[in-house]
Amino acid sequence: MWLYAVLALAVLWVAVWLWRDSLVIDKVSNKYVFVTGCDSGFGYVLCKKLERHGFQVLAGCLTQKGADDLQRGTGPNLKTILVDVTDASSVKMAMQWVQKETGGKGLWGLVNNAGRSVPMGPTEWMRTEDFHSTLRVNMMGVIETTLAFLPLIKKARGRIVNVASVLGRLAANGGGYCISKFGVESFSDCLRRDIHYFGIKVSIIEPGFFKTAVTSLEPIEKELHRLWNQLDPEVRDSYGEKYFEKYIKLQRFIMNTFCDPDLSKVTNCMIHALTAKYPRTRYSAGWDAKFAWIPFSYAPAFIVDSMLSAVLPRPAQNHVWS
């Protein structure tokens, strides 16, 4: 009897959740959304979809070529501006431009999408400036942009959508990428709890591995060679040439095997966060995120450590102490 009651409650809960999750806002044609990192990848696809959806789209691109490519084939509801999220003056100019474009209506959506992945590699290969180069974009860029645009978001009682990663839940490689994405997760949680009183919703997108500029093999391998060549001879010898070769092969295998070309799995989550009446706090985009990375992030550390040790190459001077 109790079992049937529990099952009935579970089915009812799922049905209510699905109904609530399907509710959407109306009158999107008078709502403005500003997106960073629109030269390619998720940002590029998202802006085109938002325009077709009826939003007034304001796209922040890093390069003029990226802005021109995005503008091509779109209508008057999509406008672009050049913005570097690591430059406070550039972010301020973008905010003032958005303020003028919105005509005092406020900004419905801010999507912090700009990001970079390199340099990444074994932690000992990094220098402090290697960490800074990634943290400035992925974490400090998100904070800088959010704080600059927050008054406009408050005016519209709008949405903030921050792009983190499954590697913001489970640190799988050295360098600034995982650190920055953990930072985005933490910043977003603190922000959501601080400003929900103003009717603002904050959502976090946690993509798995997708085929974008961030996962492009050419810059990843180029940076790995740079890191390897800048090592002191003693450190390089402790790893050995075979370690380096295997590490490169591992990156090729991961990026060629697991990167999903269907970017809509991520952009659909972003659109839901902007259009749903009750947006989710977190969106895990991609099958690998849902069924591998996120579940693994709840596993005991020794299990994750053992799994990664089984995959990663071993240094030449391999001393494991019990």
89, 16 Cβ separation under 8 angstroms: no
Residue 108 sits at φ, ψ, to 5 deg, of -70, -45
Which of 50, 34, 43, 39 lies closest to 275 in space, CA to CA?
50
177 carries an active-site annotation? yes
Cα distance between residue 308 and residue 305, in whole Å:
5
Per-residue tokens: 9: 């409650």
45, 35 contact by CB (below 8 A): no
Q: Phi then psi for 238, rounded to 5 degrees?
A: -65, -25
Candidates 44, 177, 243, 283; catalytic one: 177
- Report the distance separating Cα 267 and Cα 52, nearest Å: 13
Phi, psi at 173, each rounded to 5°: -150, 160
Tokens of 314: 């071993």
Angle at 153 between CA 149 and CA 158, to 5 degrees: 145
Residues serving a catalytic function are 177
